[in-house]
Amino acid sequence: MQADQQTQQNFFREWKIKTTQQDVDIRSRLVAARLPSLPQTLLKLMEQCQSEVVGMKELLRLVAQDVAMTVKMLAVANSSAYHRGGGEGGSLELALKTIGTEMIKIIVINESVAQVFDKLSKSHGVDLRGYWSHALHAGVTARLVAQKTGYSNPDEAYLAGLLHDVGRLALYAIMPREYGHNFYAVDDEDLCAVEERTLQTTHAEVGSWLIELWQLDSFIADSVLYHHEAPQRLHDAHPLIRIAHLAHTLASDVDDSELEKSATLCSLSLADMRELRSQVAAEVQTAAKQMNIDLTADVQRSKPVAVVGDSTQEQMMEQVRGMMLTTALERSFSNQSGEGNVLETITRSARILFHFDSAVLLLMNPVADALVGSRSGEHRARLADFSLPMNLPGSTLAEAARTGQIAFTPAVSPAMCVLEEQLVRLLATEHLACLPLNTDGNCVGVLVGGFKAWQAEDILHRQSFLTAFCNQAARALTSVAVQTAETRQQLDLQAREFRDASRKVAHEVNNPLAIIKNYLTILDRKLLNMQGVTGEVAVLNEEIERVGKIIDDFAELNLSEPGGRADMGRVVEDVVRLFRQTEYASPLLRIENRTRDQHHEVDGSADTLKQILVNLIKNAAEAMTGGGMIEIGSDGLVNRDGVLYVNLWVKDNGPGIAANVMSMLFSPVQSSKGKGHSGLGLNIVHDLVKKMQGLITCRSGKEGTTFEILLPAAPCADRVNGVNPAA
């Protein structure tokens, strides 16, 4: 064991020597940099994350007051882990919604625990109050200027102001010894000149480059790049650039002549600036009070002193960190339902926590004795037929799975097996971290993360946390596998019960059908002879009712969906006509067709689609005894994950659905409507939609209820042949 660890340490030491060139490229180091946050922000975020009910509004407020946490959230939300091919504006709120509360918790705990043990937070570390005060002043100023000048997105302006000096924070994070003095220097043109001379770059360029990595649909990166530019050069620049420049100037200690030059960029006067300054100061003081930060205290301008920790203490800290994060991961994994969601959460969490270029999961196939590609993540299509034999000679992946030990592939060379070379190219990386997922001595799969050579030392340092992460991931996969097996058993049991019930129904229905057939013959003969048929008709009615009763008692549905195509618009028209002509509902109830003559074809039976609509309209009508409006409409075609669907919705303005009912909406329940109601209507609808390979969701409130359905669009000849019919 010790020999293996020594071999890995030597291996990584060689990597370090090879990649040290000029202390590693600054940009490479910036990618994995952990920017220091305010302890007050972290404390309040941790308190929020410990709460059972986490409010997105409060999370947004806290994150928006801390540069480092804002940077982290924006970077994660716009990373390829969330399949973002370009951001949607400079919205922090959108970023947090994209990440979701579970991942926000993990990120906050990760950053908080790391910074508690980080050298930056030691007693002689950096005091962030001065930097934070300047950044928040600039952010609030930018938002107020945007509102005053009519700029369309004040929140984007706030972000531009808050992040304008993020390059200084980033440079200090990666080189505290070299940049420590500059971090406390006055932020002006002289500082930029010193940075250019000593680092061959400036904090404005570094900050702009970091933001460009997120591919935001915004000029925030440019506003950061030009915030030290001479005002005369910016008169025709984008409004966001001019606003950020003015915000930086107002937040700095400059004379009135300089302030007036910047104010002119936004068509504001010196008097406007004085009014803004007092308004900004009040807002910043309010925010500081909420965060328990004393901005009136003197901020020490001394250089931070490097703290050298003992290796044992560092190992202990890493263990504690891993334990705390493992608890958060366990909660996050357990909150996922279905194998696909668990697989996606595992790979995404690994990428974010360990800075992997990309990550995939290979699952163990005991029958084939091989690691096979999982059906999740951005590479699921290419990995669908991927299989790596467990007995493959020279395979690092197979060795990691067999031994249960974390392993790392060397640089690509002829000695590497072709399958692992394929993974290196697929993940667009240099090396693979092979992380076996073991439970009770059994390997359920291997998490494969791609990383660059310069990341090797950090990954080696975090092996204890990697192991803890893998253990939690393995437990989550095992748990979902057990749940899947139990669900499959239940479905098999239901299928057997269905077949038994079907045979019973067929047997029972044959009796009244035989009687009906005989009486039809008698009825035909009597009618020809002009004889009375009152008795025969009575018998026929009784037997028909009996058939209906037998079928009503049959609570199961057909297991297979009949094939075919259905014209969605025509089916909607037929169903609406049926309800109107039979006068089923109250005369005060209106049923309207909003499909706008759309005739998209869905892949499935028209009878099944009709049954879905009848159930939904019938349910809505029964809930609206006092009248109202039911609308059936469609928004046309929807592309979801590469699959083309037809959209269909049924909306009413009734009293809405109670919360306790919503939680079990599509499950068989005891109806509260009294005799004659089985409580199976929505359960039947859900099963029918699933059989058609569709999706159904429900929104309900005081203003009514809306069911939205996506049904697979029937194949179109033009689409199949690669022609766009709309072109």
State the CATH number of the domain containing residue 705.
3.30.565.10
Say if residue 74 is in the same domain as residue 212: yes
Among 357, 344, 322, 384, which Cα is nearest to 449's? 357
Query: Do 145 and 246 meet the contact criterion of CB atoms below 8 Å apart?
Result: yes
So what's the pLDDT on residue 723? 42
For residue 444, give the H/E element and its range. strand 442-451
Say if residue 124 is in the same domain as residue 261: yes
Question: Phi then psi for 603, rounded to 5 degrees?
Answer: -85, 100
Say if residue 246 is in the same domain as residue 181: yes
* Strands of 695-701's sheet in order across: 589-594, 628-640, 643-652, 704-712, 695-701
Compute CA 709 distance to the chain's CA centroid, rounded to the nearest angstrom.
21
Say if residue 146 is in the same domain as residue 268: yes
Q: What is the pTM of this model?
A: 0.47
Task: Inform me whether the pLDDT recorded for 696 exceeds 90.
Answer: yes
CATH of the domain at 155: 1.10.3210.10
Say if residue 72 is in the same domain as residue 211: yes
So what's the pLDDT on residue 20? 39
Task: Inform me whether the pLDDT recorded for 425 exceeds 80.
Answer: yes
So what's the pLDDT on residue 8? 55
Residue 593: exposure state from Cβ atoms within 10 A (0-12, 13-18, ≥19): middle
The 10 Å Cβ neighbour count of residue 63 is 26
Once rounded to an integer, what is the mean pLDDT over residues 364-368?
88
SS3 603: strand
Task: Inform me whether the pLDDT recorded for 701 exceeds 70.
Answer: yes
So what's the pLDDT on residue 119? 45
So what's the pLDDT on residue 704? 92
Task: Inform me whether the pLDDT recorded for 110 exceeds 80.
Answer: no
Tens digit of each residue's pLDDT (9 = 90 or more) over 443-460: 888 999 888 887 887 788
Task: Inform me whether the pLDDT recorded for 280 exceeds 80.
Answer: yes
Say if residue 251 is in the same domain as residue 112: yes
> Out of 313-322, 583-592, 674-683, which region has the weakest mean confidence (pLDDT)?
313-322
Specify the residue for token string 């009294």.
674
Is residue 54 included in any domain, yes or no? yes
So what's the pLDDT on residue 559? 43
Task: Inform me whether the pLDDT recorded for 657 exceeds 80.
Answer: yes
Identify the band that residue 612 occupies on the pLDDT scale cut at 50, 70 and 90.
confident
Show the tokens assigned to 642: 């590469």
So what's the pLDDT on residue 312? 44
Is residue 558 included in any domain, yes or no? no
Is residue 27 included in any domain, yes or no? no
Tens digit of each residue's pLDDT (9 = 90 or more) over 560-588: 555 688 899 988 987 787 677 545 567 78
- Give 531 or 663, the one with higher predicted confidence: 663
**What are the C-alpha distances in Å from 185 to residues 167, 198, 223, 534?**
14, 15, 21, 106
Q: Domain boundary residue among 498, 529, 553?
A: 553
Say if residue 625 is in the same domain as residue 658: yes
- Give 20 or 93, the one with higher predicted confidence: 93
Highest-scoring range by mean pLDDT, 12-21, 141-150, 661-670: 141-150
> Out of 97-111, 122-136, 271-285, 400-414, which region has the weakest mean confidence (pLDDT)?
122-136
Say if residue 93 is in the same domain as residue 212: yes
What's the chain's average pLDDT?
Answer: 76
Say if residue 497 is in the same domain as residue 594: no
Query: Do 451 and 350 meet the contact criterion of CB atoms below 8 Å apart?
Result: no
Give the DSSP letter of residue 151.
-
Once rounded to an integer, what is the mean pLDDT over residues 243-269?
87
Is residue 299 included in any domain, yes or no? no
Is residue 19 included in any domain, yes or no? no
Cβ partners under 8 Å of residue 89, min gap 6: 153, 156, 216, 217, 218
Identify the band that residue 543 occupies on the pLDDT scale cut at 50, 70 and 90.
low
Task: Inform me whether the pLDDT recorded for 305 exceeds 50.
Answer: no
> What's at 127, amino acid-wise?
D
The sign of the dihedral angle between the CA atoms of 467, 470, 476, 477 is: negative
So what's the pLDDT on residue 325? 56
Domain count, the chain: 4
Is residue 727 included in any domain, yes or no? no
- For the CA atoms of 621, 623, 624, 629, the dihedral, rounded to the nearest 10 degrees, stands at -60
Is residue 481 included in any domain, yes or no? no
Is residue 470 included in any domain, yes or no? no
Say if residue 546 is in the same domain as residue 575: no
So what's the pLDDT on residue 713? 92
> Out of 380-384, 466-470, 558-562, 611-615, which region has the weakest mean confidence (pLDDT)?
558-562
Identify the band that residue 28 occupies on the pLDDT scale cut at 50, 70 and 90.
low
Show the tokens assigned to 175: 């080189």
Domain that holds residue 633: 565-720
Among 110, 102, 88, which Cα is nearest to 156's? 88
Say if residue 418 is in the same domain as residue 532: no
Q: How far apart are CA 134 and CA 303, in angstroms?
A: 19
Give the DSSP letter of residue 716.
P
So what's the pLDDT on residue 645? 94
Task: Inform me whether the pLDDT recorded for 85 exceeds 60.
Answer: no
Highest-scoring range by mean pLDDT, 461-470, 646-655, 685-694: 646-655
- Give 415 or 264, the one with higher predicted confidence: 264
So what's the pLDDT on residue 225? 93
Say if residue 143 is in the same domain as residue 229: yes
- Give 201 or 518, the one with higher predicted confidence: 201
Q: Domain boundary residue among 267, 290, 313?
A: 290
Q: How far apart are CA 382 and CA 721, in angstroms?
A: 23
Highest-scoring range by mean pLDDT, 53-57, 127-131, 201-205: 201-205
Query: Do 228 and 238 meet the contact criterion of CB atoms below 8 Å apart?
Result: no
Task: Inform me whether the pLDDT recorded for 4 exceeds 70.
Answer: no
Q: Domain boundary residue among 531, 553, 575?
A: 553
Task: Inform me whether the pLDDT recorded for 650 exceeds 90.
Answer: yes
Could you tell me what percent of the chain has a pLDDT over 70?
69
